[in-house]
Amino acid sequence: MEFKRVVVTGLGALTPIGNTVPEYWDSLLNGVSGAALIKSFDTEKFKTKFACEVKGFDADAFLGRKDARKLDPFVQYALFSTEEAVKDAGLDFSKLDTSRIGVIWGSGIGGLKTFLDEVVGFAKGDGTPRFNPFFIPKMIADIAPGHISIKYGLRGPNFSTVSACASSNNSLIDSFNYIRLGKAKMFISGGSEAIINEAGIGGFNAMHALSTRNDDPATASRPFDLDRDGFVAGEGAGTIILEELEHAKARGAKIYAEMIGGGMSADAYHMTAPHPEGLGAALVMRHALEDAGITPADVDYVNVHGTSTPIGDPQEIKAIQDVYGDDVYRINISSTKSMTGHLLGAAGAVEAIAAILALKNDIVPPTINHFTDDPAFDPKINFTFNKAQKRLVRIAQSNGFGFGGHNASVIFKKYEE
């Protein structure tokens, strides 16, 4: 069977460092940190008092107050970034066969704020169940693709991928596979997350997963730095329009890049810790390279998972060294989480956008907040520390790993006829 080619024709982003794709990309290239003291709730009694929050987003202005109240923030974010991507792709759904266009969307947790608000409200009451009738449909993780499909009238495959921080990489891979198998012409794909609230921060604090660098939030996300002390929570959404090549050409679409492969694997090791030898991470990268029909010698840039945790960063680099061999010294590596924080289920999509734009513009965004070398890492590896670097980027790989041992890696290349 001959696979269909799959291309990227639209991008949308709502991030802690920019509420549009151009703003996000400009902040990445300029090394802007999205971390600051949390404004959305009182953190006085919390170990971590900062995060990478979305800034200046007005759900009431975007959706209208009545409709905004029916949606959890993770769905509001999804609709917002998707509107940008749809406009960017020049889509007029009235002229397209919407039965062949679907939505596959990732979220690691879904409507956590809705769940928190409803349960707290019940606990403060007299035991009478006075739950909001929108409680369940606001909370469930699959409601984001549902609302996207309703808004645009899209009747193709529609579901949510849930694999923790690999969720939106999985959504991209599923969308890619449906298109190349000829089962759909286009997908709105990506992910969103909104966990910066008492339950989200408190829960990750209880795991000792978050940085506690409260005196200097802007430098707290320090992937590969000796003094990294945990990840910085982020929120937002990323949308990528994936489309069958001939369908895109027929409507005169602009093409950012081609998606050529995706891999998935499991660590089968621990519910939160990565495999100490990086076995799952190495396996997923090999699967992605094999699926794309390329070798490490073809890749120029890897956007790593790179969360800034003491145990996670070394395992990923060990895996990259195992897979890439001597090519590890030729490629650029960077962690854009140093700027955005960790968007959990939205991380894969937002970071795939960074990889796609690196291909389009031949420039690699940096890993900021590097102060002290960690002897655990080979100093000859190019981590793109602190400043963006111009170079030819023909193929880029982007990794995502999640609690439960879920791993997903995607590969994009410059589009050629």
**DSSP 8-state secondary structure symbol assigned to residue 382:** B
Task: State whether residue 406 is helix, strand or coil.
Answer: strand
Catalytic-residue membership of 52: no
C-alpha span between 161 and 163 (Å, rounded): 6
CA nearest neighbour of 412 among 315, 234, 288, 326: 288
DSSP H or E stretch at residue 10: strand 6-14
Tokens for 2? 């001959």
Catalytic position from the list 165, 247, 275, 370: 165
Catalytic-residue membership of 342: yes
C-alpha span between 80 and 85 (Å, rounded): 9
Catalytic position from the list 247, 305, 370, 406: 305
C-alpha span between 175 and 162 (Å, rounded): 14
**What letter represents residue 402's amino acid?**
G
Strand partners, 407: 265, 401
C-alpha span between 91 and 157 (Å, rounded): 18
Based on its alpha-carbon atoms, the radius of gyration of the chain, rounded to whole angstroms, reads 20
Residue 245 near residue 4, CB atoms below 8 Å: yes
98 contact partners, CB below 8 Å, separation of at least 6 = 152, 153, 154, 155, 156
CA nearest neighbour of 257 among 354, 401, 384, 137: 354
Angle at 28 between CA 252 and CA 275, to 5 degrees: 100
In total, the chain counts a number of residues equal to: 417
Strand order in the sheet with 158-161: 158-161, 101-106, 186-193, 236-244, 6-14, 257-266, 406-413, 395-402, 301-303, 332-334
Residue 242 near residue 172, CB atoms below 8 Å: yes
Helix-helix angle 347-361:21-29, to 10 degrees: 70
Task: State whether residue 91 is helix, strand or coil.
Answer: coil
Residue spans of beta strands (DSSP E) within 295-394: 301-303, 332-334, 363-364, 389-390
Catalytic position from the list 147, 275, 287, 342: 342
Looking at the annotation, which residues are catalytic?
A: 165, 305, 342
